Amino acid sequence: MSRLEKLFQQKKERVLNVYCTAGFPELSSTLQVMQSLQANGADIIELGMPYSDPLADGPVIQESSGKALHNGMTIEVLFQQLQSLRPSIHIPVILMGYMNPVLQYGFEKFCADAAAVGVDGLILPDLPQYEFETEYGSIIKKFGLDFIFLVTPETSEERIKQLDELSTGFLYAVSSSSTTGKDKDFTAVEKYLQRLQSMQLKNPVLVGFGIKDKSTFEAACRHANGAIIGSAFIQAIEPSSDVVQTTKTFLEKILS
């Protein structure tokens, strides 16, 4: 049973997934931040692999990616850092990134190395369904990695079912059609989440984009298994010299 599967078997609500950019704010802070996230109540860590042109992300995550790249982060460096991932980190860890750097690294080698260090799953928002089904999905599966598709309020019911079928681990519900880090009107979002809830999906659903504090986290959790916080966390640790303490304070506010 995968770590994600086990998690959702034990915990069906208020699952908190926190995104952080690898190599941000410092090249060496990746594991420190992860440890602090684990110690302070995060259930899943989504580790962003920085890319020069992150289309699905807003300015906050793009800037943190730029900084991480400037710090010297690459996929190769990341896998070196993650050599000591397990067992000190026991919660599920997902890598999020874009196709181009992964293709350059070599898709199969990437999956092999990710699985070898103990990564549980992948989110590659610009890997399309057709290419997943015909080329890449089997490689991801071969190495026992989960793959998480995104759905949005504009995604048709039929397509949601297809993407749910292809996903393992959980389904990523983008709260509205937008890039990360934007403010949302949550009443419209709730209707969409209720619709997802009524669809009897195979996977648990986590809500992302626009989750930034306790109230948006609570709202998302009312109609889903949990939520993903990204930009707001990046903003919180950006100016900080003590990322461990800042992470603690940030999570305490969300989970209080």
Size of the site for another protein (CB under 8 A): 42
38 alpha-carbon distance from chain centroid = 14
Question: What region does 22 belong to: left with phi over 0, alpha with psi -120 to 50, or beta?
Answer: beta
Contacts of 191 (CB under 8 A, 6+ apart): none
Set 43, 46, 146, 164: catalytic member:
46
Tell me how far, at minimum, the Cβ of 74 lies from another protein, in Å.
4
Strand-pair partners of 171: 205
Q: Which of 56, 96, 64, 63 is nearest to 180 (CA)?
A: 56
Distance (Å, rounded) from C-alpha 134 to C-alpha 132?
Answer: 6
Q: Which of residues 54-73 bind another protein (CB under 8 A)?
A: 55-56, 58-59, 62-63, 66, 69
188 forms part of the interface with another protein (CB under 8 A): no
Q: Kindly indicate which of the ranges 111-119, 156-164, 212-220, 243-251 contains the residues binding another protein, using the contact rule CB under 8 A.
A: 156-164
Q: Pick the catalytic residue: 57, 113, 120, 146? A: 57
**Could you say whether residue 128 binds another protein (CB under 8 A)?**
yes
* Phi, psi torsion values for 126, nearest 5 degrees: -100, 20
Q: Does 165 bind another protein (CB under 8 A)?
A: no
Closest to another protein by CB, 174 vs 237, is 174
Find all residues with CB under 8 Å of 211, minimum gap 6, and list them.
Answer: 175, 217, 220, 227, 228, 229, 230, 232
Shortest distance in whole angstroms from residue 60 CB to another protein:
11
Q: Is 57 a catalytic residue?
A: yes
Q: Is 46 a catalytic residue?
A: yes
Q: How far apart are CA 256 and CA 235, in angstroms?
A: 20
Residues interacting with another protein, by CB under 8 A?
51-53, 55-56, 58-59, 62-63, 66, 69, 74-76, 98-105, 125-128, 130-131, 149-152, 154-156, 159, 163, 174, 177-179, 182
Catalytic positions, please?
Answer: 46, 57
